[in-house]
Chains A and B, each alone.
Chain A
């Protein structure tokens, strides 16, 4: 009998409740004593009584209401068997539900759980939604409006209209307007309102809104609304198609920028010096591990407030570590193999095996975790596209590194020496340029930039001893495709490969896309054996 009563009560007043409850929410103040009493009243035997107590509690519109209701919904609301106090038990600690004061540890305390059933939970959800619509924080109001937009219901229209009337925040007004339009279209408005709603909703590109409009185009009572809705659906489809292309372009740019970072260093060592460095991927790996070490040092020695700066320190550190290893490699091994490219290939492959095993012995074979600093996490909404911040930072960073390197080669005296040695070694030597030292430094520069690429890659990929292996074939492809000895070739190569790959992925699948790109490059080299940006003249013959 009681159960039946509970059912009738909940279903019967479910909706009306949500609307009527919202009104006193705004009217009442924060009477602490009344709130405490209402909280204590939650501890009822029957669910029906509990449901009424929930409604009464929500009517008080106390700032702590959402927290208490959420705790009840999640099964965290408890009664202390000895003191009778109503507490929230979360994460092992207790808080007083009414006041929010700490009330000791949960373990061992004699507690009785206040149980909620699904009907109560549904009611709490509705109450909370209404509560949030009139919250003090605009962000809460926008979230509540978006929630209403995602699950449009005709019955919510009056409430939304009222909220919209009182709204002052511009962003929240827009969100509420869309939510209200959705509610109107879902059956909560007359013909004029529904037509206006179609117009409002046509400007979004949300898939749930599109579903709503499609339903309206098929089922609405008025022909005019059906027509307008069909037009709106077509407009949204067009916009989604454009967005899709934009999305692919951005993702391609992002993938391309990582390729670019990996390939710039190679454009120096392979492109400018003609050294096949199979250990190039391991330079990237060293850079990533340097980032990991710098991060650990920051964690261990510095306050958390400056933790976000560890990346800024990691960039020069990675450059120095990878650059030093590069110089050592050049002086120790590679300089004896100039003019014997195949031998260089094998020797540097050997070095890559040694570096991988060394890192595996030092840091272990498992992945190391490198955290995104706060300023690189989260995402940005741009023209309807959602972009993660770290991808954007990496795109910008790749361009900055390329520009810095181009400027260095063009304007610094060291850059001049490097170009002189590549173009005519003997003449450069006759002019007094220490060619041996320039060789070592050029190789160090290329390796150092690979290390810097490792800093960026540590932000988006797993840091493991095999990290570099995944980039070596791809970066050689970029350099070969773009043309050896050309930074601009590397730029064009990286971005075209990145973008083509992203456009092929949805059509052909990730792996097949990659295979097609490789086949394409192999065929491309047939037509232009020296890449997109081929060197001309004497340099070719060497």
Chain B
């Protein structure tokens, strides 16, 4: 085994790899098989709308994973991750808009419908290149990454931490929301981008395309999980954990706190952008309300419910909370906000480590002689 494969293999312990591979296979292969081959009406059949719903939730899970990387591991609670998500979504939406071509209401091959409606003559420069998938895919990662880099550099350099950072990230997404509501911005204003026809030549109204997008989301989530795993088990990951618990001390020890945070923040924003890009073709619309501060705070609660600082927790949290949301809004919509509100309170008061932490505690109660192993060396703790 070369050093790289050895490093990759060390991302998880033996049992961890087994669970990871089984879950990935079950979601990426099992679900589409059940959708295609189990007879409709049988207990095993997964209808396409369920596959689509799962795809949407997995995008949320990807977003929660991104937030966990900065919140759970670097102690930076960003309340603006919805902005990175939406920017990725807009980049993908722009590609999909260009794919409509002359099939729009106005039949203009160059300009999207809303631009024709606004009486624009030429495509604005920032729309150039979005008819190419590779370019759009690049922008999905680069635009949120660049914003996070600039914003993070300004913020971390002047040592804005804690709630101050949370509040200015919230202001950032709020400002972007206001900006995208403007028609003059050239992103469709209020209505956003919608009425997509096809992606990479595949008709988006076909079931096979929907299942394909779902599979892409599962694989992307698995890949992002491994990337995050790689980061948090690296030397830099140790620094992140340490600065989460005692920032000044890490600084005095000679580590670059700004650099470490900035790296995690930028990578996290890129993952959030990818989540948004996968989300838009599956729900068929992107509009400025995705930037609303409330959305970003909701991501924080998914992460907290699952258990932050665990990578697996936020994925579990996003799926659980959104599953509950779909259930409640179907059964009794007015109860949902009460439930969500109570969830915020209960999790922060009684479940600081989330569902994953709860499971560990219960396990510990059953077998008190075997304490759960701590991920970080205990020496660091006593000093901090």
Contacts and interface: CB of A to CB of B under 8 A. Distances in A.
Interface of A: 276, 278, 333, 336-337, 340-347, 349-354, 356-358, 360-361, 469, 473, 476-477, 480, 509, 511-512, 514-515, 518-519, 521-523, 525-527, 529
A47 to B, nearest CB: 48
**A-B pairs, 6 with minimum CB distance:** A350-B344, A353-B341, A354-B341, A357-B337, A518-B175, A350-B341
Nearest to A355: B341
B274 interface: no
B349 A529 contact: no
Contacts of A340: 348
A342 B77 contact: yes
A347 B349 contact: yes
B300 interface: yes
A525 B164 CA distance: 10
B297 interface: yes
B345 A521 contact: no
A477 B343 CA distance: 27
A52 to B, nearest CB: 55
B73 interface: no
B297 A342 contact: no
B158 A529 contact: yes
Contacts, number: 117
A523 B342 CA distance: 36
Chain A contact residues: helix, strand, loop or mixed: helix
Contact of B171 (A345, A352, A473): A473
A350 B345 contact: yes
B164 A343 contact: no
Nearest to A531: B164
A519 B344 contact: no
B301 A473 contact: no
Interface in B181-236: 181-182
A276 B344 CA distance: 14
A350 B342 contact: yes
A341 B338 CA distance: 23
B160 A529 contact: yes
A469 B337 CA distance: 15
B174 A352 contact: no
B168 interface: yes
Contacts of B160: 525, 529
Contact of A511 (B159, B162, B178): B178
A165 to B, nearest CB: 57
A333 B163 contact: no
A509 B184 CA distance: 11
A352 B178 CA distance: 22
A529 B164 CA distance: 9
B162 A473 contact: no
How many B residues are at the interface, by size bracket? 35 or more
A522 B341 CA distance: 29
> Which of A341, A361, A518, A523 has its CB near the most chain B CB atoms (within 10 A)?
A518
Contacts of B294: 469
A473 B170 contact: yes
Given A480-B164, A522-B172, A346 B297 contact: yes
Interface in B344-369: 344-345, 347-349, 352
Q: Which of A341, A353, A511: most chain B CB closer than 10 A? A: A353
B334 interface: yes
B337 A354 contact: yes
Contacts of A511: 178-179, 181-182
| Most chain A beta-carbon neighbours within 10 Å: one of B158, B345, B347 | B345
Contacts of A344: 348
Contacts of A529: 158-160, 164
Contact of A345 (B166, B175, B349): B166
B175 A333 contact: no
A350 B340 contact: yes
A352 B163 CA distance: 18
A473 B348 contact: no
A357 B154 contact: no
Listed residue (B170, B334, B344, B347) with the most chain A CB atoms within 10 angstroms of its CB: B344
B304 interface: yes
Contacts of B314: none
A361 B168 CA distance: 32
Given A515-B175, A518-B171, A519-B175, A526 B77 contact: no
A349 B344 contact: yes
Nearest to A353: B341
Contacts of B297: 278, 346, 349
Contacts of A336: 349
A521 B171 contact: yes
27 contacts: A276-B163, A276-B166, A278-B297, A333-B345, A337-B349, A342-B77, A342-B162, A342-B163, A346-B300, A346-B301, A347-B344, A347-B345, A350-B345, A352-B341, A354-B341, A357-B334, A361-B334, A473-B174, A476-B170, A476-B171, A480-B168, A509-B182, A515-B178, A518-B174, A522-B151, A522-B172, A525-B164
B140 to A, nearest CB: 23
B228 to A, nearest CB: 20
Given A276-B163, A342-B163, A525-B160, 4 more contacts: A342-B162, A357-B334, A357-B337, A529-B164
A325 B2 CA distance: 63
Nearest to B171: A518
Contacts of A347: 344-345, 348-349
B283 interface: no
Contacts of B163: 276, 341-342, 345
Contacts of A512: 179, 182
Contacts of A346: 297, 300-301, 304, 344, 347-348
Given A346-B300, A353-B340, A514-B178, A477 B171 contact: yes
Given A341-B162, A511-B178, A333 B334 contact: no
Interface string B293-329: 1100100110010000000000000000000000000
Given A333-B345, A336-B349, A473-B174, A526 B154 contact: yes
Contacts of A525: 158, 160, 164, 168
Contacts of B344: 346-347, 349-351, 353
B343 A522 contact: no
Given A346-B297, A350-B342, A518-B174, A480 B167 contact: yes
A351 B345 contact: yes
Contacts of B300: 346
Contacts of A527: 158
A522 B168 contact: yes
Interface string B142-160: 0000000001001001111
Nearest to A279: B341
Contact of A476 (B167, B175, B179, B343): B167
B337 A356 contact: yes
Nearest to B350: A336
Contacts of B172: 518, 522
A529 B172 CA distance: 16
Contacts of B301: 346, 349-350
Contacts of B166: 276, 342, 345
A352 B298 CA distance: 13
A521 B345 CA distance: 30
Contacts of A469: 294
Nearest to B293: A473
A512 B179 CA distance: 7
Contact of A353 (B162, B170, B337, B349): B337
A354 to B, nearest CB: 4
A356 B334 CA distance: 11
A59 B344 CA distance: 78
B77 A345 contact: yes
A94 B5 CA distance: 98
A529 B347 CA distance: 31
Contact of A526 (B158, B167, B179, B347): B158
Nearest to A333: B345
Nearest to A516: B175
A357 B338 contact: yes
A343 B348 contact: yes
